[in-house]
Amino acid sequence: MAEHTPLAQRAGLYLHVPFCQRKCPYCGFSSRPPRDGDFACYFKAVLAQLHTVARLPEIRELRFASVFFGGGTPSLLPAGMLASLLHACTAALNCAADREISVEVNPGTIGAPALQVLRKAGFNRLSVGVQSFCDAELRRLGRIHSAAEAGKAVAMARAAGFANISLDLMYGLPGQSAADWQHSLEAALALEPQHLALYELTPEAGTPLAAALERGAIRLPEEDEVLAMMAITRRLMAGTALARYEISNYARPGLQCRHNLNYWENGFYLGLGPGAVSAFGGGRFAIPPGLTRYRERAASGQPAWDAGERLDREAAFRETVIMGLRMIRGISAAALQRRFALDLRRYYGPVLERLLAQKLVVWHGDLLALSDSGLLLANQVMAELV
């Protein structure tokens, strides 16, 4: 993401693919197993929405530095369909020549021929949903692949020409020990990825996992066990070329996820597909989930999203601060002043002074950042700044 590109013009494009071979019990995203005809219906509806929104003056002003196919499981779609969608997007929208183009894939839903098609089509970054390298944990999570299949998927991706591969892992899983987490992280590092996303499992309300926790059928690791996993992460990652650049994300130099950086900077983004969200021009616009309703809205010549919400200046300022603090480098007070005409120190006043006194946040020149202890208590810090 070039620094000289004005934030008001830089944007990311997100395509939500709402299909999964099987719904995982912890997942709160909009997705379901596909039915006959769903892929063709989805493809046609996305093209219709794209045709409509590409003509909007607000969208024509944007320059897309990243494209991200997420889900769901994008790799369930035929590779040729993904390639056609990408081509349609880059033809209809103003995309940067050096754009980052990511696609999420799950091991067990992708093969060597499909990976070759995706790479040839222009996809240059792969996000592999491994989640664990322990087969017992994968079964408890409802995943359809094995640890061996995850390693094979990475090898096939490299053979297809992907030089920027990210692996997703989760810790704090039901029944997981610190030793289990160390095994998964060491297995991931042995594959020498360019990027790692390491997330603590957060139960989502309404999911089977949350219901099982409420019934007492399963339990998550205790706080001291999770802290031990975090300590293992710090120790193992310290000896690698992957630098932590966000609370949960690590990357080799120059290979931070540009799409997510734009999101954490509270930049503009356009969402296509059922359940996708867009943010531009001071507003946020959500498309309701559900393929049938999405198809009907897209076919009507409307953008497919609801009326949306408008954020006032102070709400947008607070949101930008909270998301920006997720980044290890922190957030620039001068940049906030230029963007919102609000002074970070004066705006938060005693709240900020208290967080500084508690050593949960620190100043690095113009940058306000979470401290090491603040990173462990990030949710508590964010709650103070809402």
Instruction: Tell whether 229 and 321 lie within a shared domain.
Output: no
The whole-number pLDDT of residue 239 equals 87
Which of these, 283, 284, 287, lies nearest to 303 by C-alpha position?
287
Instruction: Tell whether 219 and 91 lie within a shared domain.
Output: yes
Residue 366 has pLDDT above 90, yes or no: yes
Q: 317: pLDDT confidence band, cut at 50, 70 and 90?
A: very high
The whole-number pLDDT of residue 56 equals 96
The whole-number pLDDT of residue 282 equals 87
The whole-number pLDDT of residue 1 equals 31
Supply the CATH number for residue 201's domain: 3.20.20.70
The whole-number pLDDT of residue 32 equals 87
Residue 164 has pLDDT above 60, yes or no: yes
Average pLDDT in the 35-57 region? 97
> pTM score, two decimals?
0.94
In a domain, 81, yes or no: yes
Average pLDDT in the 304-311 region? 89
| Cα atoms in the Cβ-side hemisphere of radius 13 Å centred on 32 | 11
- Can you tell me the distance from the alpha carbon of 15 to that of 341, in angstroms, rounded to the nearest whole number? 33
Q: 70: pLDDT confidence band, cut at 50, 70 and 90?
A: very high
In a domain, 302, yes or no: no
Neighbours of 112 (CB within 10 A): 14
CB 271 within 8 A of CB 17: no
Structural domain containing residue 23: 10-264
Residue 8 has pLDDT above 50, yes or no: no
In a domain, 378, yes or no: yes
| Structural domain ending residue among the three candidates 264, 298, 326 | 264
In a domain, 276, yes or no: no
In a domain, 270, yes or no: no
Q: Which percentage of the chain shows pLDDT scores above 90?
A: 88
The whole-number pLDDT of residue 76 equals 95
Q: 359: pLDDT confidence band, cut at 50, 70 and 90?
A: very high
Supply the CATH number for residue 328's domain: 1.10.10.920
Buried b vs exposed e over 61-79: b needs ≥16 C-beta within 10 Å? ebbbbbbbbbbbbbbbbeb
Q: CA quadruple 310, 314, 315, 318: dihedral positive or negative?
A: positive
**In the sheet that 367-370 helps form, which strands lie side by side, from edge to edge?**
331-332, 367-370, 361-364
| CA dist list (Å): 10 to 20, 49, 89, 202, 254 | 31, 21, 16, 31, 18
3-class DSSP state of 310? strand
Number of domains in the chain: 2
Residue 28 has pLDDT above 50, yes or no: yes
The whole-number pLDDT of residue 2 equals 32
> For 100-111, how does the pLDDT look when each residue is reduced to its tens digit (9 = 90+)?
999 999 998 999
Report the range out of 156-165, 211-220, 282-291, 301-310 with the highest average pLDDT: 156-165
Q: 3: pLDDT confidence band, cut at 50, 70 and 90?
A: very low
Average pLDDT in the 119-123 region? 99
Residue 4 has pLDDT above 70, yes or no: no
The whole-number pLDDT of residue 304 equals 94
| Structural domain ending residue among the three candidates 244, 264, 284 | 264
Residues β-bridged to residue 169: 131, 198
| Structural domain ending residue among the three candidates 246, 264, 282 | 264
Q: 29: pLDDT confidence band, cut at 50, 70 and 90?
A: confident
Backbone phi, psi, residue 61, to 5°? -80, -15
The whole-number pLDDT of residue 27 equals 82
In a domain, 291, yes or no: no
For 186-200, give the secondary structure using H, E and C. Answer: HHHHHCCCCEEEEEE
Residue 243 has pLDDT above 50, yes or no: yes
Instruction: Tell whether 232 and 368 lie within a shared domain.
Output: no
Only one residue has tokens 């499909």, namely 114
Q: CA quadruple 374, 378, 380, 381: dihedral positive or negative?
A: positive
